[in-house]
Structure 1
Amino acid sequence: MKQIAFVTGGTGFVGSHLVEELLRREFGEVRCLVRTDPKWLSDLNVTYVRGDLSDVEALWTALDGVTHVYHTAGLTRAPDWEPFYEVNVQGTLNLMGAVKHAAPDLERVLVTSSLAAVGRCEAAIATEKHPLQPVSRYGRSKAEMEEALHDAHNMTESYWNALPITIVRPAAVYGPRDDDILDFFRAVQRHFCPIVGSGSKRTLSLVHVHDLATGIVDASLAPSANGETYLLGSDRPYAWNEIKQAATDALDTWAVSLPIPPLLVGAVGILAGGWGTLTGTYPPLNRDKARELRHACTACTINKAAHDFDYTPNVPLAQGVATTIDWYRDEGWL
C-alpha cells in the first residue's frame, strides 16, 4: 500500500519544509490543506485540499486513504486568548475527530506542539518529564492541545488511546522562510545585537527547519515513537554570544551586544503588543513572547528522540544562520 500524507499548515514556514521532506522520502501522494495562496508549495507535486481546521467536510474528504497525518497548522501570534483556543485547541480536536472516522488506513498522526508548552521549569534544561507550566497564551494553547488529546471528553476513550499519535515539541525554529527571527538579523546588520540578560549565561535551544522536518518524518515512521512525546532542538543549547557570532560572521559585519534587562523586555512587549492592536498587526516581539523570554525555559535536551529514532541535528549553527541570511538576501528581506 502506498503511503499517503496529509499535511495541515503546509503553506507555512515549518509545514512547507515538511512537505518538501515528504516528497524527498517518496511518499506516494502528499495532500495539503490550504485556504488561499499555496505560497511555497506552488511548484511542488502536491494535492491541494481547500478548507481549514473548522471545515469538517473538507477534512473528511482529504483524509480518504491517508496513512500519515502531519498537523503543523497553528496560530503563533494573537492579541488575546480566543483565537489561540479556536485554532490550536479546537482545530486540533476537529482534525482528530475527522481522522478517527475518515482515515481507516491510518498508520500515524504526528502533532506539532512547542517547547513553549513546557514554560517554567526549575532545571536549566527541559526534558519530556517536566510538567507543563506555560507562561504565554501561545504556550498555554499548545499545553491545552496536548491535554485535550489525553482527555476522553464525551467519548468512550481519548484520542490518545484511540489513535496512533506522536507529539513533537520543537525548540525555537529558524531557517529560510521564517520571519520571526528576521528582526534580530536586521538589528545585527545595523550593528546592534539585542540580548536578554547575560549573553554568556542565558542559553537557547535552536532547531534548523531542515533538521526539524527530518525529525518529524523520522518520528512518524518509527514504531517506537507511537504514543510518545519528544523535544526536538539542537544537539546542545547555545549561548546568546554564540548566536551573535554566527550572525555577525554571516553578515560580515560587527555588532555591539545590547543587554536588555528582563523587566525592560516585558515593557517593550507590552508597548509592541499595544501598537499591534492599534494597527491591526501583531509583531514577533509582543507581550506573549516577552513572557517566554523572561520566564520560560528556552533550552531542552534531545536525548529521548536520539534514543528512540536516532534524531541527530545535522545543520551546525554557523551554517544554518549563514544559509538563512543568504535566503533573506535573495528574497530581498535583508
Structure 2
Amino acid sequence: MTQLSLRNQLVTVFGGSGFIGRYVVQKLAQQGARVRVAIRRPEEGLFLKPMGAVGQIDIVQANIRMPMSVQAAVKGADIVINCVGILHEGGAQKFAAVQARGAEVIALCAKEAGVKKMVHLSAIGADAASGSRYAQSKAAGEAGVRRHMPQATIIRPSVVFGPEDDFFNRFAALAAFAPALPLVDGGHTKLQPVYAGDVGAAVVQAALDDAAAGQTYELGGPKVYSMKEIMQLTLDTIHKKRLLVPVPGFALKPLAFALELQPLFAPPITRDQIELLKADNVVTEGAKGLKDLGVSQPTPVEGVIETYLYRYRRGGGKFEPRFS
C-alpha cells in the first residue's frame, strides 16, 4: 500500500458542506491537508472553518453547472474530491445536470488542470438500465469521470446515516405525526446502512492510497436490514408505536407525485425513490469495501441513531450534531 502524505497538499472538495462532504473535510483537515471547499453558496460553508487550523480551510464559490467556476476551483489542486449529490430534483437541480453532467465537468476540468488524483462519490445501485433517474445519473456520472480521469477512485456507499441524514431522520419525522407508515411493496428491500464518518474516512484513505487509483469500492455497514426492519428500528428508537402498512409501489406513486408538486417542503418520498426501492442496496459479494480502505470495524446503526433520533421522542430535546 503506497501512500502519499496529505500534509500541505491542496485538496479541492466539491460539495464539502453537504452531509457526507463535511466529514470528508474534517478528515482531510486532520491529515494536515489544505482544503478548498467548492460550493454554490460559500456563506453556507463557513461552519467548516473551525474544523481546521486558521487558514487551513478555504471556502470558494463554484457551481458544477458552470464550467468556468469549476476550472477556478480546481486550479492548483493536487487532489479533487467530488461529493456533490442530490436525493430529489428541484428547480435547476436535476439528476442529469448534477450527478451526470456535473461529475463529468469536474473530471474534465481536473484533467485539464493537471490534477493527478480524483475521488468520486457515487452510490451502490448506480445502473444505466435502472428505472430510477437517480441510479441512471449516478451511472452516467461514473462513466463521465472515467472518460476523463480513468485513474479516479469511485466510492459507492449504500444508504448513509448520521445526525444530518435524510434517511432515519425522515422516517422519524413522519412518525411524529402520521398514525401509520407505508412499507413500499411490503418493505422487503434490503439495505446496508453505512455511517457517514466511515464514508468520510474511506474517501480520505482513497485519496491517500496510490493503490486505490482506478478502483471501485462499495461501502456498507456491518448489518443488512430490510426496509421493514429499518422502520421498526426507527420506531423503537423514538419510543413510538405506528402501524406499518404494506403498500404496492404503483399505488403510492400518485401520492408521491402530489408531494413532489407542493413547494413548501422536501417530499418525504418521490416516484423515483419508489423505483429505487425495487432493488436491494447492499454490497456486492467480493467487492472491495471499507476494510480495503482502512475501516476494519464499520460503525453499527444502533450505536449512532439514538444519539440524534432521541429528539423525536415525546418531550424532544436539544439537537447537537456531532462529528467523529
TM over 0.5: yes
Q: Secondary structure at the match of 2:288?
A: helix
User: Which amino acid is the alignment partner of residue 244 of structure 2?
Assistant: L
* 1:93 and 2:104 correspond: yes
Decide whether the 8 Å contact of 2:222 with 2:299 is kept in 1.
no
What are the within-5 Å matches in structure 2 for residues 122-137 of structure 1?
A: 132-137=128-133
In 1, Cα distance between equivalents of 2:121 and 2:217: 10
Query: Structure 1 pair 91/241, CA: closer, same or farther in 2 (3 Å)?
Result: closer
Provide the residue aligned with 2:3 in structure 1: none
Q: Distance in 1 between matches of 2:111 and 2:164?
A: 33
CA shift, 1:298, in A, is 2.1
1:319 aligns with 2:319: no
- Tell me the CA shift for residue 17 of structure 1: 1.7
**1:110 and 1:220 in contact (8 A); partners too:** yes
1:148 and 2:144 aligned: yes
The question of 1:204 aligning with 2:191 is answered: yes
Map 1:176-191 → 2, pairs under 5 A:
176-189=163-176
In 1, distance between residues paired with 2:110 and 2:131? 31
What is the aligned counterpart of 1:331 among 314, 319, 322?
Answer: 319
Shift in CA distance, 321/82, structure 1 to aligned 2, threshold 3 Å: closer
Report whether the alignment pairs 1:11 with 2:22: no
- 8 Å Cα contact 1:266/1:291 also seen in 2: no
Q: Take 1:81 and 1:288, find their aligned partners in 2: how far apart are those partners?
A: 17
Distance of aligned partners of 1:229 and 1:332 in 2 relative to their CA distance in 1, 3 Å threshold: closer
Match of 2:48 among 37, 41, 51: 41
What is the aligned counterpart of 1:259 among 245, 249, 261? 245
Corresponding residue for 1:32? 37
Relative to the length of structure 2, the TM-score reads 0.81
Match of 2:29 among 23, 33, 41: 23
1:159: which partner in 2? Answer: 148
| CA spacing shift, 1:185–1:91, aligned 2, 3 Å | same
Task: Describe the superposition over 1:101-127 as per-residue Cα deviations: whole angstroms up to 9, x where unpaired.
Answer: 22x3x3420011112314xxxxxxxxx
Q: Write out aligned runs for 1:222-301 (5 A).
A: 222-240=209-227, 242-244=229-231, 246-251=233-238, 253-261=239-247, 263=248, 265-279=249-263, 282-293=266-277, 295-301=278-284
Give the Å deviation of 1:247: 2.8
Helix, strand or coil for the counterpart of 1:26?
A: coil
Q: Alignment identity in percent? A: 26
Q: Is the 8 A contact 1:269 1:285 kept in 2?
A: no
Note the C-alpha offset of 1:3: 1.6
Residues 41 and 306 (structure 1 numbering): CA distance in 2 closer, same or farther, change over 3 Å? Answer: closer
Cα deviation, residue 71, structure 1: 0.1
> Do the aligned partners of 1:193 and 1:255 also contact (CA within 8 Å) in 2?
no
User: RMSD between aligned alpha carbons?
Assistant: 2.9
**TM-score between both structures, scaled by the size of structure 1:** 0.79
Number of corresponding residues: 303
Distance 1:241 1:86, change over 3 A: closer
